[in-house]
Amino acid sequence: MIRRCCGRGRMRMSTIITVATMKGGSGKSTLASCLAVHWHLEGRHPTIIDADPQRSIARLAARDRALDGVPVVEDATEYACNAAHRLSLGGGLVIIDTPGFRSEITTKCLTASDFVLVPVKASPFDVDRMIDTLNMLTKSAGDRRPMFRCLLTQTTRDSVIAKHIRSELGAAGFPLLESEMTNRVIYAEAALWGATPSLMERAGAAARDIAAIAAEVDNILAIRQAA
């Protein structure tokens, strides 16, 4: 990966980040689009590859706010990973939104990634599917296993179930981000206009959640570079 310093002291990386889960409804496409817009507002020039046949992000980009101009490339084929490689050359940041089910597209994108985010709702059913996703990651990546983190999504602040799931996953050795994607109505409201919370309420709680997630990912990748 090619890296260079940016003016804010963070590292800009030629990086492919894949958002993957084998269960729909986990907030996968929302997470991918929100991170892309956040980094776009920071001047990082990300590109989203919509590799999900449902075209959720492509549909967002067709609405009024059009994700503030973040480029979206539709490629729901097994060659999406090739497009990601091309777009990441020279310091590019690429976020891939994969299908929400077992797919050859997901398998190849996982192998091509530098970092994988696995969104998981705080429920036993979603945790089971998260484990399936991680098993697929382990089997498909072989020697080139990307870094990954799980992220609790659609959580209720201070809820017993979210705390329990976090504790159980941590005890089982699954790497979790400290941040969570709390359930907030602004995600759906912003989507009506093809926007994200970072565009609608830059200082709002949801935008702060997104910023915290992005900062954790940036820090993890920076530590990996320094190692």
The CATH number covering residue 79 comes to 3.40.50.300
Residue with tokens 């492919």: 16
Domain-located, residue 111: yes
Domain-located, residue 182: yes
End-to-end, the C-alpha distance of the chain in Å comes to 14
What was the pLDDT predicted at 143?
A: 64
**Interval 104-140: pLDDT, tens:** 898 899 888 999 999 998 888 888 778 878 777 777 6
What was the pLDDT predicted at 7?
A: 39
Domain-located, residue 227: no
Domain-located, residue 223: no
Q: Which of 18, 33, 95 is nearest to 69 (CA)?
A: 33
Domain hosting residue 20, numbered range: 3-217
**What is the tally of structural domains in the chain?**
1
- Residue 225's pLDDT band, with cuts at 50, 70 and 90, is confident
**Interval 178-202: pLDDT, tens:** 999 999 999 999 999 999 999 999 9
More confident residue, 110 or 11: 110
Domain-located, residue 211: yes
- Residue 97's pLDDT band, with cuts at 50, 70 and 90, is very high
